[in-house]
């Protein structure tokens, strides 16, 4: 048992797209930054001196304790974490994600992300704060033990808790039983929660998340001849009041992944500004004459977006639409595992016990960043009404508050970790030392 003194806990939700971190008890996370990192292989680059001056939060992975990382192969590289460090273009910097299919594949990067959150964003000493981490439903035993080891051995945290993100979302909306539809950045996951347990065998996920939609939008615009210039590739200055001049810059050593990262920042903003889920399945001919919506790109050119406003969100419902977008070649790879959102919901419910299906249909919770898409909730509810069994009473719920929708997992963790009664639930350092990392399975089932 953790003594539960007055030092407040930290809550971290490391998603596939964004990392949310902050103090337990607050309404929203203090630090929100990309969960991708920039990496430069030290072998290739000699002039690291130059980049060092500009790196606000560069962490030299050579110096970090690597007791846990056995993979020495990718040893010498320099990692850049945080929106600021990533916003600055560097030669040969690749943008990599530590998470694949919702599960951590590169612990070195995760380590750096946590470190950035503690020391750069929150300015805390992890030794003093219990940590509540949100974990994906699909996390394996090894992953959880690894997390516990890293937290206790390296950061020396006094106590730890791993909470399932679907459970946190469900609880934060006042339900112990619900079907959580988490439309995140990197993927979409449908997870049934019953009395606080995730029903693992019925969890469904697909690779189509917000980021995938942004990519589709990017490619679709490119096919129409609209090139989105990444922010680093030009300089814009005011020649006379109200008049701007854009000068293109050329950086031949920029990596393809960094270029894509910078373009995605823009295309996801376009998506958030103009896209809206259509009320009925997207139909090319019906939407050919809709009015165009203007959007001003960072380089000053104004583009007009027409049917893509509706077509892109509809990919969530009908993934095969991707085939009509030139340039989205990787669809063939993910195609077998991908289904539309309503189908995922129904399949997931059908894999649950008959007795709870009715209850799941009546409490479908929409959460995650992409859930803020306009009309997404209404469309999902409509499609489900059509495809669900007659007797079922379909109800899709989403918090009216955009912050709560986007950060529902973090908010749930924040409240939980700040409850007085929860202080006895932590997996404490003493317990870790006595029972080892595998005890996490008992303490945080």
Give the interface with another protein as residue ranges (CB under 8 A).
161, 163-164, 167-168, 170-177, 195-198, 359, 362-363, 397, 404, 411-412, 415-416, 419-425, 444-445
Q: Which C-beta is closer to another protein: that of 25 or that of 281?
A: 25
| Element containing residue 108 per DSSP (H, E) | helix 107-115
Q: Which C-beta is closer to another protein: that of 113 or that of 166?
A: 166
Q: Which of 99, 108, 77, 100 is nearest to 90 (CA)?
A: 77
CB of 364 to another protein, least distance (A): 12
What letter would DSSP give residue 35? S
Q: Which of 140, 143, 196, 208 is nearest to 368 (CA)?
A: 208
d(CA 325, CA 332): 13
- Report helix, strand or coil for 276: strand
Q: Which of 134, 148, 315, 290 is nearest to 215 (CA)?
A: 315
- Report helix, strand or coil for 312: helix
Q: Which C-beta is closer to another protein: that of 40 or that of 191?
A: 191
CB of 223 to another protein, least distance (A): 43
Q: Which C-beta is closer to another protein: that of 206 or that of 414?
A: 414
d(CA 132, CA 114): 12
CB of 399 to another protein, least distance (A): 8
Main-chain phi, psi angles of 206, to 5 degrees = -140, 160
Q: What is the token pair recorded at 365?
A: 């919770």
Q: Which of 87, 86, 171 is nearest to 134 (CA)?
A: 171
Exposure string over 364-403, b if 16+ CB within 10 A, otherwise e: bbbbbbbbbbeebbebbbbbbeeebeeebebebbbbeeee
CB of 119 to another protein, least distance (A): 27
CB of 424 to another protein, least distance (A): 5
CB of 200 to another protein, least distance (A): 11
Q: Which C-beta is closer to another protein: that of 20 or that of 164?
A: 164
Q: Which C-beta is closer to another protein: that of 185 or that of 412?
A: 412
Q: Which C-beta is closer to another protein: that of 275 or that of 416?
A: 416
Q: Which C-beta is closer to another protein: that of 155 or that of 197?
A: 197
d(CA 317, CA 213): 12
Q: What is the token pair recorded at 145?
A: 């033990």
Asked whether the beta carbons of 86 and 52 are under 8 A apart, the reply is no
CB of 404 to another protein, least distance (A): 7
Q: Which C-beta is closer to another protein: that of 282 or that of 422?
A: 422
CB of 431 to another protein, least distance (A): 15
Q: Which C-beta is closer to another protein: that of 176 or that of 227?
A: 176
Asked whether the beta carbons of 103 and 136 are under 8 A apart, the reply is yes
CB of 12 to another protein, least distance (A): 15
Which residues 6+ apart lie within 8 Å of 17 measured at CB? 34, 35, 184, 185, 186, 209, 210, 211, 369
Handedness of CA 345, 347, 352, 358 (dihedral sign): positive
| Element containing residue 240 per DSSP (H, E) | strand 234-240
Q: What is the token pair recorded at 88?
A: 């600055």
Q: Which C-beta is closer to another protein: that of 257 or that of 362?
A: 362
CB of 181 to another protein, least distance (A): 17
Q: What is the token pair recorded at 43?
A: 């072998």
Q: Which C-beta is closer to another protein: that of 318 or that of 423?
A: 423
CB of 30 to another protein, least distance (A): 17
CB of 15 to another protein, least distance (A): 17
- Report helix, strand or coil for 63: coil
């Amino acid at each position: 048992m953790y003594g539960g003194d007055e030092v407040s806990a930290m809550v971290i939700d490391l998603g596939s797209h964004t990392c949310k971190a902050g103090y337990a008890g607050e309404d929203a996370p203090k630090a929100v930054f990309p969960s991708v990192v920039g990496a430069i292989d030290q072998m290739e680059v000699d002039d690291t001196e130059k980049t060092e001056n500009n790196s606000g939060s560069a962490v030299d992975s050579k110096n970090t304790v690597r007791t846990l990382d056995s993979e020495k192969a990718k040893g010498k590289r320099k990692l850049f974490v945080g929106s600021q460090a990533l916003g600055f273009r560097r030669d040969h910097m690749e943008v990599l994600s530590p998470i694949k299919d919702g599960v951590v594949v590169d612990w070195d990067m995760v380590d750096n992300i946590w470190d950035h959150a503690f020391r750069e964003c929150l300015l805390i000493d992890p030794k003093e704060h219990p940590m509540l981490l949100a974990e994906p439903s699909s996390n394996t035993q090894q992953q959880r033990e690894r997390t516990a080891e890293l937290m206790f051995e390296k950061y020396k945290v006094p106590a730890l808790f791993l909470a399932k993100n679907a459970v946190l979302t469900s609880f934060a909306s006042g339900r112990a039983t619900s079907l959580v539809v988490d439309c995140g950045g990197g993927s979409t996951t449908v997870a049934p929660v019953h009395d606080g347990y995730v029903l693992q065998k019925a969890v469904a996920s697909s690779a189509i998340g917000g980021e995938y939609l942004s990519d589709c939008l990017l490619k679709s615009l490119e096919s129409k001849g609209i090139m989105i210039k990444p922010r680093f590739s030009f300089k814009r200055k005011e020649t006379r009041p109200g008049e701007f001049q854009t000068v293109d810059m050329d950086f031949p050593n920029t990596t393809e992944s960094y270029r894509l990262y910078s373009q995605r920042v823009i295309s996801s903003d376009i998506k958030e500004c103009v896209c809206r889920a259509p009320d009925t399945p997207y139909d090319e001919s019906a939407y050919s004459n809709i009015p165009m919506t203007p959007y001003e790109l960072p380089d000053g050119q104004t583009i007009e977006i027409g049917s893509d406003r509706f077509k892109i969100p509809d990919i969530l419902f009908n993934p095969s639409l991707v085939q009509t977008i030139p340039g989205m070649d990787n669809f063939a790879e993910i195609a077998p595992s991908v289904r539309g959102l309503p189908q995922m919901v129904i399949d997931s419910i059908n894999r649950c016990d008959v007795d709870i299906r009715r209850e799941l249909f009546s409490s479908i919770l929409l959460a995650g960043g992409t859930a803020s898409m306009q009309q997404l909730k209404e469309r999902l509810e409509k499609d489900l009404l059509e495809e669900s069994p007659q007797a079922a009473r379909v109800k899709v719920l989403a918090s009216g508050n955009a912050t709560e929708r986007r950060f529902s997992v973090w908010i749930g963790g924040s409240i939980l970790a700040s409850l007085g009664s929860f202080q006895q639930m932590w997996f404490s350092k003493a317990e870790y030392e006595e029972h080892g990392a595998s005890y996490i399975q008992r303490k945080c089932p």
